């Protein structure tokens, strides 16, 4: 029985700890205090629930416990004596909130926290990393990898962001409609990065984390309710189309299955249909941007009955548009792969070499993996082995490591003949 309860607590922590944190952050208005309170609440659950049983509304219980733990912490901390009265009074006002109302409020607290972290008073270079750390609980190392920078640099940015929220007393609220546009780009960037971490987990055994990608889609729907913007529609479409392929992206052993090898009958065609509808609405507005173009690229894949039926010329053309709207080395890399599929591996390989020669994406595993695959298809086995080996040193995702190791084993066996 106790083992079962402990497993429930671990599942709650994995799936819902950031929801609890977001509500505590709104109430306490201090990210560090909220983090400590959340951790203490889960520790209290591990201590009490095996004897008392799991409460009817465990999320609300954790929030309430976290509140009281924070009050105790403030009272014990003499350095915070000057603000403890204000916080304790605030705690008293909310302590009586009934569980059902608390649970309803919690649903929107992560969105409130996203808007707080994306406040225009915070440096734009800090907004997205801060949100990924505080809203999603990603580690500094994971965020640094996503931004192709060092953990030390990223840690400094996050500390600066937290200090700005505290010192400027930035409110934990969803802004007025007139204030939404200036924060929208950062908010959508955060939601997409949350989705990407769920769709292609940066580390660990699992290829995907459905809790994160599902939360990103939910948050995007909430933003769409607030603001019917074309790019919100485009991002929602993009995530739905990617999510439609989740079940086909790994085999029963948890290994990666590439897009061209996936069983397309396992794709979720309801999600595909909804995604296509949002693309049409976004395009009809004539105010669309990069997310809508990316969604259109994904829709071309979704519309192909087999990998061989993929319209790669159309995909290359869409990447040309995307590069004009949103130039980046990662977009260039994706376009290079599409060119290779359209015109032959040597053409795509030349483009990837140019990107790497510029010193960009040198620490990006997918760039070296793509180069290795194109070298393999060009017949350069030795070069492919070198590229795949480099990619292997740059990824911590277990299934990606198995995939690359299998590629290397196959190539080394082939090179012996």
Does the pLDDT value for residue 92 go beyond 50?
A: no
Q: What is the per-residue pLDDT for 415? A: 54
Each residue of 271-299: pLDDT tens digit? 999 999 999 999 999 888 999 999 999 99
Same domain, 25 and 126: no
Q: What is the per-residue pLDDT for 105? A: 46
In a domain, 137, yes or no: yes
Q: Give SS3 for 368.
A: helix
Tokens of 241: 């189309």
Q: For a pLDDT cut of 90, what percent of the chain falls above it?
A: 44
Q: What are the backbone dihedrals phi and psi of residue 204, each rounded to the nearest 5 degrees, phi first?
A: 100, -175
Q: Are 237 and 220 in contact (CB under 8 A)?
A: no
Cα–Cα distance list, 240 to 106, 142, 170, 298 (Å): 24, 24, 33, 10
Using N-to-C axis directions, what is the helix angle for 151-167 and 31-52, rounded to 10°?
A: 100
* 39: nearest Cα among 89, 7, 5, 73: 73
In a domain, 149, yes or no: yes
Tell me the average pLDDT across 96-100: 38
* 62: nearest Cα among 32, 28, 39: 39
Same domain, 127 and 223: yes
Residue 274 CB neighbour total at 10 angstroms: 16
Same domain, 164 and 73: no
Tell me the average pLDDT across 156-173: 88
- Note down the domain range covering 148: 106-227
Same domain, 116 and 215: yes
Q: What is the per-residue pLDDT for 104? A: 41
The span from the CA of 102 to the CA of 251, in Å, is: 40
In a domain, 217, yes or no: yes
Same domain, 91 and 111: no
CA dihedral 77, 82, 84, 85 (to 10 degrees): 150
In a domain, 141, yes or no: yes
- From 75, 97, 119, the end of a domain falls on 97
Same domain, 76 and 161: no
Of residues 171 and 3, more confidence is placed in 171
Same domain, 82 and 172: no
Q: What is the pTM of this model?
A: 0.74
Number of compact structural domains in the chain:
2
pLDDT band at 383 (very low <50, low <70, confident <90, very high): very high
- From 55, 75, 97, the end of a domain falls on 97
Tokens of 275: 């995604």
Of residues 226 and 269, more confidence is placed in 269
In a domain, 268, yes or no: no
Same domain, 71 and 172: no
Same domain, 30 and 143: no
Same domain, 111 and 217: yes
| Residues constituting the chain | 417
Mean pLDDT across the chain: 85
In a domain, 325, yes or no: no
In a domain, 293, yes or no: no
- From 227, 258, 274, the end of a domain falls on 227
Q: What is the per-residue pLDDT for 208? A: 54
CATH number at residue 70: 1.10.1740
In a domain, 81, yes or no: yes
Q: What is the per-residue pLDDT for 89? A: 52
- Whole-angstrom Cα Rg for the chain: 24
């Amino acid at each position: 029985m106790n083992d079962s309860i402990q497993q429930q607590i671990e599942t709650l922590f994995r799936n819902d700890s950031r929801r609890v944190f977001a509500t505590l952050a709104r109430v306490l208005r201090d990210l560090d205090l909220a983090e400590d309170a959340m951790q203490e609440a889960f520790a209290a659950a591990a201590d009490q629930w095996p004897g008392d049983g799991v409460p009817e509304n465990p999320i609300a219980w954790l929030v309430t416990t976290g509140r009281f733990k924070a009050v105790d912490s403030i009272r014990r901390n003499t350095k915070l004596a000057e603000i403890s009265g204000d916080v304790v009074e605030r705690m008293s006002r909310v302590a009586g909130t009934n569980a059902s109302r608390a649970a309803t409020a919690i649903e929107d607290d992560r969105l409130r926290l996203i808007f707080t972290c994306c406040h225009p008073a915070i440096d734009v270079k800090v907004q997205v990393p801060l949100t990924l750390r505080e809203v999603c609980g990603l580690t500094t190392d994971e965020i640094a990898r996503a931004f192709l920078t060092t953990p030390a640099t990223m840690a400094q940015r996050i500390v600066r962001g937290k200090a700005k929220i505290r010192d400027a007393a930035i409110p934990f609220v969803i802004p007025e409609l007139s204030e939404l546009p200036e924060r929208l780009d950062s908010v959508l960037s955060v939601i997409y990065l949350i989705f990407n971490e769920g769709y292609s987990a940066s580390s660990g055994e699992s290829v995907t984390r459905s809790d994160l990608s599902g939360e990103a889609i939910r948050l995007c729907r909430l933003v769409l309710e607030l603001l019917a913007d074309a790019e919100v529609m485009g991002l929602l479409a993009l995530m739905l189309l990617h999510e439609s392929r989740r079940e086909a992206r790994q085999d029963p052993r948890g290994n990666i299955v590439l897009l061209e090898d996936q069983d397309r009958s396992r794709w979720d065609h309801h999600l595909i249909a909804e995604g296509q509808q949002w693309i049409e609405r976004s395009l009809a507005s004539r105010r669309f941007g990069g997310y809508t173009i990316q969604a259109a690229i994904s829709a071309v894949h979704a519309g192909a009955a087999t990998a061989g039926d993929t319209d790669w010329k159309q995909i290359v053309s869409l990447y040309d548009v995307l590069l004009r709207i949103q130039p980046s080395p990662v977009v260039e890399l994706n376009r290079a792969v599409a060119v290779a599929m359209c015109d032959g591996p040597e053409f795509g390989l030349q483009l990837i070499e140019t990107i790497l020669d510029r010193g960009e994406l040198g620490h990006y595993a997918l760039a070296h993996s793509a180069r290795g695959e194109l070298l393999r298809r060009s017949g350069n086995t030795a070069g492919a082995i070198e590229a795949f080996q480099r990619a292997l040193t740059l990824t911590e995702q277990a299934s990606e490591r198995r995939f690359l190791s299998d590629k290397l084993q196959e190539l080394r066996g082939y090179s012996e003949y």
